[in-house]
């Protein structure tokens, strides 16, 4: 499938997920991001345009108070840029200046640069605080174990197997777009007018256990099963007619 349709499909899919994502290349220039990335950090349009400087983005965030008060803003920017140049995988959780909590997971790319996923975990942190407040009878050892287990589970949940596979296969523009589709927590696909799959990010089986792992070349009724296909056929037909359509299934 040509890179341009894949890129459009990717951006459409990324606009539907709640996590913020960004990819910076080996020169610390923005390659691609999703709308949630701009919304989460309140970034101006100039800093979410491909080619935007990572250093300029960090400077904006430091000056906006994202990392709290800084004795030396220039040093704070320099330190974060130097850390980014190491291109090391990392996972951290931090509280923002606005009081909300986020997890930040970064993974280097084979061709240079890195991809980062930001997740709002405020509700999880609130639940942990309630657990501690309501469980005074529990030993400190049990509470510490529960928190370690929660951290490990969140780190595992945020790790996307598709990202690891993509890091071995991606090259240039198509590499970046394919990475975004394969790491998105959603089934992203393209069907022709005969409702035959021409592209899939291979996530269908993860969302619908029992579905084929590779659906390219299959009719939607075969890939989705008769029951699900019958439910989504009307909205699919409206979409083929050019109508923007949203359909929820459980």
Contacts 24+ apart (CB under 8 A), 192-195: 193/240, 194/219, 195/219, 195/220, 195/221, 195/236
Q: What is the pLDDT of residues 218-228, one digit of tens each?
A: 998 988 888 88
Of the pLDDT bands very low, low, confident and very high (cuts 50, 70, 90), residue 5 is low
Nearest to 208 by CA among 190, 229, 238: 229
Question: For residue 3, is pLDDT > 60?
Answer: no
Average pLDDT, the chain: 82
Q: What is the pLDDT of residue 1?
A: 46
Of the pLDDT bands very low, low, confident and very high (cuts 50, 70, 90), residue 243 is confident
Hey, what are 150's tokens?
């929660």
Q: What is the pLDDT of residue 44?
A: 97
Report domain extents, the chain: 3-183, 189-240
Residues in a beta bridge with 30? 24
Question: For residue 6, is pLDDT > 60?
Answer: no
Q: What is the pLDDT of residue 177?
A: 67
Question: For residue 100, is pLDDT > 60?
Answer: yes
Q: What is the pLDDT of residues 160-214, one digit of tens each?
A: 544 554 445 445 666 666 676 666 677 788 889 899 998 888 878 777 787 888 8
**Is 3-183 CATH 3.40.50.720?**
no
Q: What is residue 223's three-state secondary structure?
A: helix
Q: What is the mean pLDDT of residues 40-62?
A: 96
Q: Decide the pairing of beta strands 30-33 and 189-191.
A: unpaired
Q: What is the pLDDT of residue 12?
A: 63
Q: 96 or 142: whose pLDDT is higher?
A: 96
Identify the burial level of 54 via C-beta atoms within 10 angstroms of its C-beta, where 0-12 means exposed, 13-18 middle and 19 or more buried. buried
| % the chain with pLDDT above 70 | 77
Nearest to 114 by CA among 93, 157, 85, 155: 85
Q: What is the pLDDT of residue 145?
A: 73
The model's pTM is 0.55
Question: For residue 115, is pLDDT > 70?
Answer: yes
Q: What is the pLDDT of residue 172?
A: 60
Of the pLDDT bands very low, low, confident and very high (cuts 50, 70, 90), residue 249 is confident
Q: What is the pLDDT of residues 55-81, one digit of tens each?
A: 999 999 999 999 999 999 999 999 999
């Amino acid at each position: 499938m040509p890179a341009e349709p894949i890129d459009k499909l990717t951006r459409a899919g990324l606009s539907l997920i709640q996590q913020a994502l960004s990819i910076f290349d080996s020169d610390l220039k923005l390659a691609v991001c999703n709308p949630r990335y701009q919304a989460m950090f309140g970034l101006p349009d100039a800093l979410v345009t491909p080619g935007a400087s990572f250093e300029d983005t960090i400077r904006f965030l430091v000056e906006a108070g994202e990392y709290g008060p800084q004795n030396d803003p220039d040093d704070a920017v320099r330190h974060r840029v130097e850390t980014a140049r190491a291109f090391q995988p990392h996972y951290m959780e931090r509280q923002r200046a606005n009081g909300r909590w986020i997890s930040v997971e970064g993974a280097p790319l084979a061709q240079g640069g890195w991809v980062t996923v930001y997740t709002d975990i405020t509700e999880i942190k609130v639940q942990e605080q309630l657990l501690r407040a309501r469980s005074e009878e529990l030993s400190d050892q049990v509470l510490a174990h529960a928190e370690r287990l929660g951290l490990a589970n969140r780190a595992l949940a945020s790790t996307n197997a598709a990202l690891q596979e993509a890091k071995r296969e991606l090259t240039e523009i198509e590499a970046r777009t394919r990475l975004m589709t394969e790491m998105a927590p959603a089934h992203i696909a393209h069907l022709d007018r005969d409702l035959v799959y021409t592209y899939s990010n291979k996530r269908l089986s993860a969302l619908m256990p029992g579905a084929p792992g590779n659906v390219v070349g299959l009719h939607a009724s075969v890939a989705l099963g008769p029951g699900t296909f019958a439910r989504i056929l009307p909205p699919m037909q409206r979409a083929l007619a050019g109508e923007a359509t949203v359909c929820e299934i459980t």
